Amino acid sequence: MARGPPAAAAAAHGPRLAGVGRALLLVAATATFLPAAESSCPRDNSLVRDISRMHQSNYGREGFSHITVAGALAHGMKEVEVWLQTFGPGKRTPIHRHSCEEIFVVLKGKGTLLLGSSSLKHPGEPQEIPVFQNSTFTIPVNDPHQIWNSDEHEDLQVLVIISRPPIKIRYQQRRSKL
């Protein structure tokens, strides 16, 4: 489907979520891989939009590309927002969590979902779950997670749906050795 933009980069962000379970530091930070910077984008009131011509950004991360397909700031959405994101081989999101619902649909490529749990005081080892073209998954509200293009060759392209835009993100990092 969506002719995604040429892959750009979701910052190989240090250690995998796997190693972060027992020593987490929650960091409320500016979203650098998400549409926080979008406020400078012009409002687009067109009724039907060609996704391949829409504004895209890598938010300063090589190998990552983000398009807000329908968003709060650019399109006046109030309850739901849709993004198209492309991760180059080896690229990943930061470890993060948020209190909205989030659904992924994998349009092409394959990768790994790393998923911790907000229901445990010490989340321990997160699950590492393979994701693949034409798969879908939902991130439980507030669970720490990371999307990783664990493939060495192909781009990973996902459609991301979130509720209650604009998203407020909390990043998680290893306390040391980052």
The Cα–Cα gap between 159 and 30 comes to 22
Closer to a second copy by Cβ: residue 11 or 69: 69
Q: Does the footprint of a second copy cover residue 3 (CB under 8 A)?
A: yes
CB of 52 to a second copy, least distance (A): 6
Residues from 102 through 121 that contact a second copy (CB under 8 A): 103, 105-108, 113, 115
Residue 13 annotated as binding? no
Rg (CA), the chain: 16
Q: What are phi and psi of 40, to 5 degrees?
A: -85, -5
The Cα–Cα gap between 97 and 113 comes to 13
| Member of 30, 39, 118, 133 binding a second copy (CB under 8 A) | 133
| Member of 74, 147, 159, 169 binding a second copy (CB under 8 A) | 159
Q: State the number of CA atoms in the 13 A half-sphere of 114 facing the CB.
A: 22
Q: Does the footprint of a second copy cover residue 163 (CB under 8 A)?
A: yes
Tokens of 43: 């409002």
Residue 15 to residues 65, 71, 84, 123, Cα–Cα distance (Å): 21, 31, 25, 16
Positions touching a second copy (CB under 8 A) are 1-3, 47-52, 69-70, 75, 77-80, 82, 100-101, 103, 105-108, 113, 115, 127, 129-138, 157, 159, 161-164
- As annotated, the binding site for Zn(2+) includes 96, 98, 102, 145
